[in-house]
Chain A
Amino acid sequence: MKSSKPKFALFKRKYLCIPYGLFLVMFIIIPILIIVYYAFTDDNGMPSINALVGFFTNWSKVNVLITSVFIALQTTLLCLLIGYPLAYFLADKKVNKNAVLITLFVAPMWINFVLRTGATRDLLTWMGINGGNMPYLATLIGMVQNYLPFVILPLYTTMLKLDKSQIEAAADLGANPFQVFYKSILPQSVPGIVSACTMTFMPTMSSYVISDTLSEGKITLFGNYIYLDFANNLWHDGSFMALIMLVIIGISMFLTREKGGAEQKGGKSW
């Protein structure tokens, strides 16, 4: 903006964003740039595509990526199947008058995540489903158990906003319950489904604690590999895989940018 006068010394509120702005640059942007740097350099700091070549020629790594996507898809789908009717019932005043009940579904988050995972493992072991005999099932149960709250919350919020008169109108016009669901309730709840999916899919793919604990190390997910590479000082390979995750997240954010968004709150990845 052109100004013929000196700006007055009045403090401006926008200056308040400087400390956090610096923090964001130092601890979010720069670290990501460092990852990009490590992904495309070698130990001597020279530009290199070793990590890229190494990743795509290492069949086991690509395989892990595919397995991770597959498990993440299954978890997301199972969470939706269980969470969708649950959210519907919770939001229905005729079924549930108690708004505090929703808090109970979120409350496990206050009990430590690792402790919770351990508890699930111990219980499953007691029941005979352990990493030794059924690693895949145990992992899936652990995942669903952990990520269910993240599906319920956004779905519940969308269900509360359902247009009741539209549903009644559909029923009134002679639609059977299935048609009412298919034509009215489902389309209206799409935003909630989208944000529930983004909140479950990515964290499931990248988590390694659940699969490590529940499959007793028999199932390796993408997150495990990143962690192992890092723990073994293979920073370039680890960075490259982290970059792949970053790209997948970027793509999924781009695809869902219109519909999700509002219900991001609480979507953490373990």
Chain B
Amino acid sequence: MVKKIFGQAYIWLILLLMYLPILVLIAFSFTTSTNVGVWNGFSFELYPALFKNKEVMVALANTLIIAVSAAVVSTILGTLGAVGAFYSGKKFRKGYEFVNQIPVVNAEIVMALSLAIMFAALPSVIFKADLRCYWTLLIGHVVLGAPFVFISVKPKLQQMDPSLYEAAIDLGAKPHQALWKVTLPEILPGVFSGFLLAITLSLDDFIISQFTTGPGLLSAGDPKIVTLSILVQDKIKKGPIPPVLRALTTIIFILVVLGVIGVSIYRSYQAKHIKKKVRV
């Protein structure tokens, strides 16, 4: 009993400490002061201001575009890679998995630096000049996400009955039909969680973005694509978090909380559903 009370108190205390900075930002998103800690009256003013702030909105849009496109590319590449490697020879597969593991265990700054140096060394004709930083940023984020897609798809392939694909081929499906109709549905949960992971990593990333965002770092000018991370880093170097970003944090937080609730509802629904299936 003592253990239970103590344990729960400990859990909630740590949780509170972890969320404290964010909760403070949220609290102060309802006042217009420049600094956290100064309360000059309750107001919703920051919220309309946030949506009118072009700089933040552009950064947000950039972040989302990069995150979604990088996650899509990562998911396609990583899934194809996982399926292909799984059906390759043992030695080749081990080597492939080893290389895939490099960005996972490597320090992000090393990956970022190596990519940036390579992009800088590459002649700009390779990508159309005005879109160059989009491509470099995209590649950087795919390096970040695809290995995790690979890692989430692999166990699903291991769990899959190897005869399923053969059964489809045997029944007259061409290889692409069998992959689409049989293999994909089987590994879909892994593909999906890989996609989510890739999006999460991309949204959260700063170092890779800073190094690969193009001319900003490579040639002294302003970066062409500013993501949220880059914008925030730029602002907090000079002073406290800009007030409008407090409102943005609140909105993101609410979305995250809704997401967590959604996931837990889905899980309990799934658990019930499975139980029902077994009962039949």
Tell whether B99 is near chain A: CB-to-CB under 8 Å: yes
Residue of A with least CB distance to B15: A104
Tell whether A249 is near chain B: CB-to-CB under 8 Å: yes
Beta-carbon contacts under 8 Å, A176-217 to B: 198, 202-203, 205-209, 212-213
Q: Which residues of chain B are within 8 angstroms of A207 by Cβ–Cβ distance?
A: 109
Q: Given A119-B21, A203-B107, A245-B109 in contact, is the A15-B84 Cβ separation under 8 Å?
A: yes
Q: Which residues of chain A are within 8 angstroms of B14 by Cβ–Cβ distance?
A: 82, 86, 148
B24 and A119: CB pair below 8 A? yes
A269 and B108: CB pair below 8 A? yes
Per the bound structure, the CA–CA distance linking A120 and B37 in Å amounts to: 13
Per the bound structure, the CA–CA distance linking A226 and B116 in Å amounts to: 12
Shortest C-beta distance, A250 to chain B (Å), equals 9
Interface residues on B, range: 35 or more
Q: How many Cβ-Cβ contacts under 8 Å join chain A to chain B?
A: 273
Per the bound structure, the CA–CA distance linking A104 and B205 in Å amounts to: 20
Tell whether B18 is near chain A: CB-to-CB under 8 Å: yes
Shortest C-beta distance, A73 to chain B (Å), equals 16
Tell whether A238 is near chain B: CB-to-CB under 8 Å: yes
A245 and B107: CB pair below 8 A? yes
Beta-carbon contacts under 8 Å, B1-56 to A: 3-4, 7-8, 10-11, 14-15, 17-22, 24-25, 35-37
Tell whether A109 is near chain B: CB-to-CB under 8 Å: yes
A270 and B117: CB pair below 8 A? no
| Pairs A-B, 9 closest by C-beta atoms | A17-B84, A20-B81, A31-B114, A16-B84, A95-B7, A206-B107, A126-B37, A119-B21, A89-B7
Tell whether B252 is near chain A: CB-to-CB under 8 Å: yes
- The total of chain A residues at the interface (CB under 8 A) is 89
Tell whether B80 is near chain A: CB-to-CB under 8 Å: yes
Q: Which residues of chain B are within 8 angstroms of A31 by Cβ–Cβ distance?
A: 111, 114-115, 117-118
Shortest C-beta distance, B93 to chain A (Å), equals 9
Q: Which residues of chain A are within 8 angstroms of B121 by Cβ–Cβ distance?
A: 34
The one of A38, A85, A227, A267 that contacts B105, using a Cβ cutoff of 8 Å? A267
A11 and B176: CB pair below 8 A? yes
Tell whether B150 is near chain A: CB-to-CB under 8 Å: yes
A17 and B88: CB pair below 8 A? yes
